[in-house]
Amino acid sequence: MTDPTIPATRPANPRFSSGPCAKFPEYDLNLLSDAPLGRSHRAAVGKAKLAEAIDKTREVLGVPADYRIGIVPASDTGAVEMAMWTMLGARPVEMLAWESFGEGWVTDAVKQLKLDATVRKADYGQIVDFAEVDFNKDVVFTWNGTTSGVRVANGDAIPADREGLTICDATSAAFAMDLPWDKLDVVTFSWQKVLGGEAAHGMLILSPRAVERLESFTPDRPLPKIFRLTKGGKLIEGIFRGETINTPSMLAVEDYLAALNWAQKIGGLQGLIARADANAKAVRDFIADKDWIADLAADPATASTTSVCLKFTDPAIKDGASFAKAVAKRLEKEGVALDAGAYRDAPAGLRIWCGSTVEAADVAALMPWIEYAYRAELAAQ
């Protein structure tokens, strides 16, 4: 076999990590110069910055005016667990999982909260049939499977007159996909995904139905301070005005504000969605006529537009897991794709982040390098 040809073009930005994700184009640390460093988050300047982050989140995502938005600790994980620990147990529960993070919420519900939950699972690359889900129960699910490359196509199967709450981990979907707010009661995400923000901070968005649950249901379990959203049976409204439960990083807040400002400049949510769609299309156009690589997502209707997961399908590959790792390592060594290997619990392959901060030209430039690395590793095995 002849040596594969090294591609002539390299991605200008090789950062394809699925979290923390690439910074937006034109990002500069000088954009953070207005951060109130060394000031209390309870001072007027700190409160104003936190309130601005909440207000701009509402503007960009189109969150309804009667939904509360709070900045909470421990990233998306903290936000999801706050919702589960404070709201679940009031009525029967269904847990939906088709990738590793959804599996984690199942573990929390069944083994930690010890709920007698109905658990519905699908293999990596597939998704649970929402037509079979009982939405008169509380339902917990991820909108986009960051580690499996699949997403919920839409909210059509969620009834408007449901009796239960829908608790949606949307951390790799928010800002890149349309979320049907009328079908979602709790939505969580982190700054480090689609907008490429810094880690450690989560967002918790509550519908009026979720607030009613919090104010009418007292769980029979102890709640750590950072999980407590009510006092005296009433929602702690300050949390949803920027009066955070614990101390936030004002530098990270400024970084998030810079990303939100960029999002507004490029057309808001629709501009962000268009960029992610174009990035994912660049990957799928490339693999469409290849017989050695394929989309892990089984159904194009539920294929993710942010975390695009690929699998090698060449029968000549001797050890799929080792081969995929070697390809990812070669891409990193060449400096064309950093952190592009599949998630540790997922099937062997590659995971290319195609979120809104990534440039389509960089995705297109990466594709020939994937073929180069594949052919080089195939010759070396």
| Residues 61-81 pLDDT 10s | 999 999 999 999 999 999 999
**What average pLDDT does the segment 343-360 reach?**
97
Q: Is 59 exposed, middle or buried (0-12, 13-18, 19+ CB in 10 A)?
A: middle
Strands (E), 144-258: 144-145, 150-151, 166-169, 186-190, 201-206, 230-231, 234-235
Closest CA to 19 of 287, 357, 292: 357
- Res 107: pLDDT: 97
| DSSP-derived pairing of the beta strands 201-206 and 186-190 | antiparallel
The domain 268-380 is classified under which CATH number: 3.30.300.180, 3.40.50.1000, 3.50.50.60, 3.90.1150.10?
3.90.1150.10
SS3 of residue 161 by DSSP: coil
- Name the pTM for this structure: 0.97
49, pLDDT greater than 90: yes
Architecture of domain 30-264: 3-Layer(aba) Sandwich (3.40)
Q: Report the mean per-residue pLDDT for the chain.
A: 97
Is residue 97 predicted with pLDDT exceeding 90?
Answer: yes
Q: Cβ distance 93 to 78 under 8 Å?
A: no
Q: Count of H helices and E strands in the chain?
A: 8, 14
Give the pLDDT mean for 285-292.
Answer: 98
Q: Span 151-173, mean pLDDT? A: 98
Do 30-264 and 268-380 fold alike per CATH? Answer: no
Residue 226: pLDDT over 70: yes
Measure CA 250 to chain center.
22
- Write phi, then psi, for 70 (nearest 5 degrees): -125, 145
Tokens of 112: 């930690």
pLDDT on residue 348: 96
pLDDT > 70 fraction of the chain, expressed in percent and rounded: 99
Report the amino acid identity of residue 6.
I
Mean pLDDT of 228-234: 97
Residue 2 scores a pLDDT above 70:
no
Residue 220 Cα distances to 6, 81, 85, 113, 231, angstroms: 62, 16, 10, 10, 16
Secondary-structure breakdown of the chain: helix, strand, coil percentages, each rounded to the nearest 5: 40, 15, 45
Q: For 358-381, what is each residue's pLDDT tens digit?
A: 999 999 999 999 999 999 999 999
CB 309 within 8 A of CB 123: no
Res 103 pLDDT > 90: yes
Q: What is the pLDDT of residues 167-218, one digit of tens each?
A: 999 999 999 999 999 999 999 999 999 999 999 999 999 999 999 999 999 9
| Domain boundary assignment for the chain | 30-264, 268-380
Exposure letters 122-143 (e unless 16+ CB within 10 A, then b) = bebbbbbebeebebebbbbbbb
CA distance linking residue 358 with residue 15, whole number of Å: 8
pLDDT of residue 3: 76
pLDDT at 1 over 70: no
User: What is the crossing angle of helices 208-216 and 75-87, to 10°?
Assistant: 50
Q: Tokens in use for 47?
A: 């409160």
Contact 277, 325 (CB under 8 A): no
Please compute the mean of the pLDDT values over residues 106-118 and round it to a whole number.
Answer: 97
